[in-house]
Amino acid sequence: MTKTVIRRMALPVIVAGLGLLPCTMAARAATVSITSQDSTGNAPLGVTMTPVSESGAFLQNTTGTFGGSVGALSPYATNTGAGADGIAAASNATYSALGSGASPVGSATYNVNSSSLTFLWGSPDPYNSVTFFSGANGTGTQLGSFTGSDLACFTSNCRDGGFDLVTFTALGGDIGSIVFNNITAAAFEYNFEPTATPLPSAIYLFGSILGGVFWVGRRKRSAVSSLGAA
C-alpha cells in the first residue's frame, strides 16, 4: 500500500517536470554578444576540433603560413617562442583554416551546446564570418552573425595579420552550434580555447526533478512510519 501511494504522488511530479523540458529547450534561443579578450603580444595556444560537417577548402590541423592567393597566415606567425608562458612559436602551433586549399571558399559547422564560446580568430577579414544557431548542426533559430570587421581590434591592430581571442556569449539561453564561413579570398584561420563544454541547462532541470521525486518519497515513507508507530 505504501509503495502504491508513493508512486501516485511521484507520478504527477515526473509528468510536470517532463512537461517543462520542451519549454526549457525552447528558451535556449538567445541573442549572442561579442567580447574581445586579447589581441596583442603572443597568440594563446588553442586546440583544433573536428567539425560535424564541412565543405570546400578546410584544413583541421595545419601549421605555419602558406603563401599565394589561396594562402593562410598562421595566427602564431608573430609569436616570439615558447617562453615561460608556454606559448608556441609559429613553426609548431597547429590551427584550423578555411579557404586555404584550391578554393578560397570553405565552411565548417561545430556543435557548442553551451552559453558561451571562446576561440582565437586569426588575421580577421571582412570575408570571414561566424553564425550562431539555437539548434545542433546549424539548425534552429539564428542567434547572431559576425564578420572579422565586427571585432574591436579590426580597425587598429588585428586586420589581415594579427589575431583576436574573442568570446561569444548567449544572452538568456545556450548556443546550439556555430558555422564558420570563408568567401571570396583566403583565408579564415582559427583555434578553439581548450575548455570543457557544460551540459545543457535542461539536464540540470531534469536532475532537480528527480531529486524532488526522491524527497517526496522520503517524506511519505516517514509519514507512514509515524502513523504505524502511533
Same domain, yes or no, for 52 and 104? yes
Which of 15-24, 83-92, 185-194 is predicted with the least confidence, judged by mean pLDDT? 15-24
| Whether residue 87 is found in the same domain as residue 125 | yes
| Residue 12, domain extent | 2-23+204-229
pLDDT for 74 equals 84
Model pLDDT, residue 227? 43
Is the four-CA dihedral 198, 199, 201, 204 of positive or negative sign?
Answer: negative
Whether 153 and 48 share a structural domain? yes
- Written as nine digits, the cell of 128 is 570571414
| pLDDT higher than 60, residue 72 | yes
pLDDT at position 153 is: 93
Are 155 and 208 contained in the same domain? no
> Do residues 218 and 139 share a domain?
no
Same domain membership, residue 35 and residue 140: yes
Which has the higher per-residue pLDDT, 204 or 185?
185
Could you tell me which of 9, 76, 11, 14 has the C-alpha nearest to residue 206? 14
Closest by alpha carbon to 61, among 22, 92, 39?
92
Do the beta carbons of residue 116 and residue 205 sit within 8 Å?
no
Mean pLDDT of all residues in 59-74: 73
Q: What cell does 227 get?
A: 502513523
Q: Are residues 194 and 212 in the same domain?
A: no
Same domain for 11 and 54?
no
Higher pLDDT, 100 or 207: 100
**Do both 67 and 7 map to the same domain?**
no
The predicted-structure confidence for 77-90, as pLDDT tens digits, reads as follows 778 765 544 555 66
* Same structural domain, 13 and 51: no
Shared domain for 184 and 78, answered yes or no, is yes
Whether the pLDDT of residue 28 is over 70: the answer is: no
Looking at per-residue confidence, does 111 or 91 come out higher?
Answer: 111
- Distance between CA atoms of 211 and 177, rounded to whole angstroms? 30
- Please indicate, yes or no, whether residues 8 and 47 belong to a single structural domain of this protein: no
Q: State how many domains the chain has.
A: 2
